[in-house]
């Protein structure tokens, strides 16, 4: 999705987010004016989140580093560029950089492990809009939908957990994923089932460890996927859980959902409620095993299209 790279970018970032009909279904004729109002109102509170985080989201820098590492892993026959959805570098900027070389094919690689039409789908739709109206040459486009159950991705998650928790059996594992409006799931979106499968595959490596999957970052009045992470923390504390390990399962970079929500809001809540050890597993970022997983995803997808 991208994130504000300065405090001044918070309001325009929110405007771009709430203008996206794939994720926020406001009647199209009024969506942009309503998005401007929502962004102006919410930016005052949201700006404070980024002040606590040091004045910006680290997501852009971390994603550019991921691209750099993936470029090294894939070699000179590939050119890896970054396209963010709601802030720079936008899709058009990514295409400008991409076509500075002679490009034969474009492969779209989402950094959302689990597919949703509100995230990966929205990014694909934006790519199509920009590419069709652009002056760039027409080349074949290949789309990777997800990698939620890729063995090396699962292995990378397991490795991060083991690096964070010395003795897993002493902890309750709380997986936290970005929530979605329930109507999106009822329309057939695979996000929930894919997230549940990711968690199940990770937990195969931790037999006997209690765990819960919860959701965070709800926006607006409609019903969203539950249970919410905050409510699960309250419930676990009330049941006497003292050691809690929180695992961000749908995020591969740090941003407001991890640094502000999970670390600041939920971490402080947990300690206040009597949880003595609150650990949060870092996102994968440029972990060597994760980069190798992405490389494998890319090469296997190309093999499918060449066979």
User: Residues 43-83: pLDDT tens digits?
Assistant: 988 999 999 999 999 999 999 999 999 999 999 999 999 99
Question: Which of 16-20, 165-169, 189-193 comes out lowest in average pLDDT?
Answer: 16-20
Domain span including residue 173: 151-280
Task: State how far the Cα of 233 lies from the Cα of 172, in Å rounded to an integer.
Answer: 10
* Residues pairing with 227 in the sheet: none
CA-CA distance, 234 to 218, in Å (whole number)?
17
Contact 232, 177 (CB under 8 A): no
Would you place residue 255 in the very low, low, confident or very high pLDDT band (cuts 50, 70, 90)?
very high
Helices (H), 22-119: 28-52, 59-74, 91-98
What confidence tier does 307 reach under pLDDT thresholds 50, 70, 90? low
**Two structure tokens written together for 164:** 């964070």
Q: Is residue 239 part of a domain?
A: yes
What are 281-304's pLDDT values in tens digits? Answer: 999 999 999 999 999 999 999 999
As a whole number, mean pLDDT of residues 131-155 equals 96
Identify whether 249 is part of a domain: yes
State yes or no: pLDDT of 10 exceeds 70: yes
User: Average pLDDT, whole number, for the chain?
Assistant: 96
CA dihedral 116, 122, 124, 126 (to 10 degrees): 180
Q: In terms of Cα–Cα distance, which of 283, 290, 284, 280 is closest to 164?
A: 280
Q: Give the pLDDT band of residue 7 (cuts 50, 70, 90).
A: very high
Distance CA 35, CA 23 (A): 12
Q: What is the pLDDT of residues 194-245, one digit of tens each?
A: 999 999 999 999 999 999 999 999 987 889 999 999 999 999 999 999 999 9
Residue 255 is assigned to a structural domain of this protein: yes
* Residue 33 lies inside a defined structural domain of this protein: yes
Residue 241's pLDDT is 98
**pTM (2 decimals)?**
0.94
Give the pLDDT score at 91. Answer: 96
CB 301 within 8 Å of CB 144: yes
Average pLDDT (112-120) is 97
Residues 157 and 264 in one domain: yes
**What are the beta bridge partners of residue 142?**
107
Q: Residue 232: inside a domain, yes or no?
A: yes
Q: Judge if 159 and 272 occupy the same domain.
A: yes
CA dihedral of 194, 197, 202, 204, whole degrees rounded to 10: -170
Q: Would 2 be classed as within a structural domain? A: no
CA–CA distance, 89 with 83 (Å, rounded to integer): 6
What's the structural domain count of the chain? Answer: 2
Per-residue confidence (pLDDT) for residue 22, from 0 to 100: 86
Q: Which residue has the tokens 């760039």?
A: 136
71 within some domain: no
Percent of the residues in the chain that have a pLDDT greater than 70, as a whole number = 100
The per-residue pLDDT for range 23-34, each reduced to its tens digit, is 788 889 999 999
- Position 301 in a domain: no
Element at 220 (helix H, strand E): none
């Amino acid at each position: 999705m991208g994130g504000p790279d300065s405090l001044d970018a918070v309001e325009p970032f929110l405007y771009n987010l709430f203008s996206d009909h794939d994720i926020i279904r406001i009647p199209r004729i009024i969506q942009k004016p309503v998005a401007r109002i929502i962004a102006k109102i919410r930016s005052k509170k949201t700006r404070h989140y980024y002040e606590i985080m040091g004045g910006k989201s680290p997501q852009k820098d971390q994603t550019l580093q991921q691209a750099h590492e993936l470029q090294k892993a894939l070699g000179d026959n590939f050119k890896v560029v970054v396209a963010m959805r709601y802030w720079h570098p936008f899709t058009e900027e990514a295409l400008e950089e991409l076509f500075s070389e002679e490009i034969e094919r474009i492969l779209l690689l989402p950094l959302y492990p689990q597919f949703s039409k509100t995230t990966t789908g929205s990014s694909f739709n934006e790519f199509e809009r920009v590419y069709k109206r652009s002056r760039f040459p027409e080349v074949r486009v290949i789309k990777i939908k997800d990698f939620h159950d890729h063995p090396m991705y699962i292995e990378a998650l397991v490795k991060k957990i083991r690096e964070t928790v010395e003795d897993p059996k002493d902890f309750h594992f709380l997986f936290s994923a970005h929530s979605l409006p329930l109507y999106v799931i009822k329309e057939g979106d695979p996000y929930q089932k894919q997230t549940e499968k990711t968690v199940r595959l990770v937990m195969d490596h931790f037999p006997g460890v209690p765990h819960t999957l919860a959701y965070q970052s709800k926006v607006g009045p409609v019903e969203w996927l539950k249970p919410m992470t905050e409510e699960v923390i309250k419930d676990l504390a009330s049941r006497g859980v003292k050691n809690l390990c929180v695992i961000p399962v749908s995020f591969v970079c740090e941003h407001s959902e991890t640094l502000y929500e999970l670390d600041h809001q939920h971490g402080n809540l947990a300690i206040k409620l009597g949880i003595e050890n609150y650990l949060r597993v870092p996102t994968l970022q440029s972990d060597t095993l994760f980069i190798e997983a992405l490389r494998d995803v890319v090469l296997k997808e190309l093999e499918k299209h060449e066979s």
